């Protein structure tokens, strides 16, 4: 789309100016960069913030909720610009991934101008770091039991990623993808982009070894002083307790400096939804698709 350019590593510095302090995954530069080839994320710096567009597959392009430099300034100039770009392309003005904080600002500055439709597959699961790190209490006893079953049969170690771990981590992902029938898929490409630029992205990558061999890994980013996001979590398939263990160790070892962890959306997949709910999130952060309200006749 004209006026927007593909998101690149050098854009990361602009994120340092963003005023957001919530758990919305759109504040994760690493996640956006890793998935750029699949979502065709475009960025356009504006004097009031960062504007984004995206399109997936054969869908027409749409705008993505912007990131603000100063939430006290009016959104109207940014939204007028986005609208002019979309209308110049002959496209309807639609904004996706709007979280409640952005919706509140939109209503503050443009009351009644938009309709809001919740996208159930885009809601993001937010957890207390302490709950994931300890798995304490009755609600999470089954997770502890699965880990204990694993520990009765295996030894493990957990460490932060080193370049020599790359081959083993990619092998884990390949085994997982083959079991799921997703070889050479978009997620594999995103993982490879993350590893290729892990230092520049400041990714927190955890590597778990089972009986001395790499068996699981996670890729995460700290988004704000109190919030982190776990972008990728992979483990060898069919090993009871392995996913629960990498989840616990990631929270305890890599995110001791945050209060909450975003484990992303369920993409409308019922199995993934149930898996995320089984960890009893603090709340699910809703996302909305927003369109200009049709003028009254």
pLDDT in tens, 95-140: 999 999 999 999 999 999 999 999 988 999 999 999 999 999 999 9
pLDDT, average across residues 261-286 = 93
Decide whether 5-123+287-292 matches 124-284 in CATH topology: yes
Whether 19 has a pLDDT exceeding 70, the answer reads no
Q: Which CATH superfamily, name and number, covers 5-123+287-292?
A: Gcn5-related N-acetyltransferase (GNAT) (3.40.630.30)
C-alpha 19/C-alpha 167 separation (Å) is 37
pLDDT in tens, 156-168: 999 999 999 999 9
Q: How far apart are the first and last CA of the chain?
A: 32
pLDDT at res. 20: 59
pLDDT at res. 146: 97
Whether 297 has a pLDDT exceeding 60, the answer reads no
Q: 5-19, 79-93, 105-119, 140-154: which range is least confident on average?
A: 5-19
Q: What percent of the chain has pLDDT over 70?
A: 96
pLDDT at res. 121: 87
**pLDDT band, very low/low/confident/very high, at 21 (cuts 50, 70, 90):** low
**pLDDT band, very low/low/confident/very high, at 267 (cuts 50, 70, 90):** confident
pLDDT at res. 22: 65
Whether 296 has a pLDDT exceeding 60, the answer reads no
pLDDT at res. 17: 78
Whether 295 has a pLDDT exceeding 90, the answer reads no
Instruction: State the DSSP string of 16-54.
Output: TT----S--GGG-HHHHHHTHHHHT-EEEEETTEEEEEE
pLDDT at res. 60: 87
pLDDT, average across residues 137-159 = 97
Q: 21-25, 80-84, 144-148, 193-197: which range is least confident on average?
A: 21-25
**What are the structural domain ranges in the chain?**
5-123+287-292, 124-284
**pLDDT band, very low/low/confident/very high, at 25 (cuts 50, 70, 90):** confident
Q: Which helix (H) or strand (E) holds 292?
A: strand 288-292
Q: What percent of the chain has pLDDT over 90?
A: 80
pLDDT at res. 1: 64
User: To which residue do tokens 């913030």 refer?
Assistant: 49
The model's pTM is 0.93
**pLDDT band, very low/low/confident/very high, at 182 (cuts 50, 70, 90):** confident
pLDDT in tens, 211-232: 999 999 999 999 888 899 999 9
The contacts of residue 65 (CB under 8 Å, 6+ apart) are 24, 26, 52, 95, 96, 97, 98, 99, 102
Pairing of strands 49-54, 114-118: unpaired
C-alpha 65/C-alpha 67 separation (Å) is 7
Q: Which CATH superfamily, name and number, covers 124-284?
A: Gcn5-related N-acetyltransferase (GNAT) (3.40.630.30)
- The chain-wide mean pLDDT, for the chain, equals 92
């Amino acid at each position: 789309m004209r006026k927007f350019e593909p998101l690149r590593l050098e854009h990361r510095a602009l994120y340092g100016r963003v005023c957001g302090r919530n758990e919305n995954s759109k504040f994760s530069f690493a996640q956006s960069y890793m998935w750029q080839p699949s979502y065709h994320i475009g960025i356009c710096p504006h004097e009031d913030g960062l504007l984004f567009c995206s399109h997936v597959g054969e869908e027409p392009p749409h705008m993505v909720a912007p990131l603000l430099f100063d939430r006290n300034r009016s959104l109207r100039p940014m939204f007028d610009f986005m609208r002019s770009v979309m209308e110049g392309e002959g496209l309807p003005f639609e904004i996706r991934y709007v979280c409640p904080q952005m919706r509140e600002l939109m209503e503050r500055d443009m009351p009644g101008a938009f309709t809001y439709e919740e996208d159930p597959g885009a809601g993001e699961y937010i957890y207390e770091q302490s709950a994931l790190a300890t798995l304490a209490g009755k609600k999470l006893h089954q997770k502890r039991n699965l880990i204990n079953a694993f520990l009765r049969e295996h030894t493990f170690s957990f460490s932060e990623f080193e370049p020599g771990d790359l081959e083993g981590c990619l092998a884990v992902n390949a085994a997982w993808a083959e079991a799921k029938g997703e070889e050479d898929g978009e997620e594999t490409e995103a993982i490879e982009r993350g590893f290729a630029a892990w230092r520049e992205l400041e990714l927190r990558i955890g590597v778990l070894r089972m009986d001395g061999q790499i068996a699981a890994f996670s890729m995460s980013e700290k988004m704000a002083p109190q919030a982190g996001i776990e972008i990728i979590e992979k483990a060898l398939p069919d090993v009871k307790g392995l996913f629960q263990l990498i989840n616990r160790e990631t929270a305890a070892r890599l995110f001791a400096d945050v209060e909450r962890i975003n484990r992303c959306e369920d993409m409308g997949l019922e199995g993934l939804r149930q898996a995320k709910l089984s960890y009893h999130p603090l709340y699910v952060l809703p996302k909305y698709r927003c369109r200009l309200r049709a003028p009254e006749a």
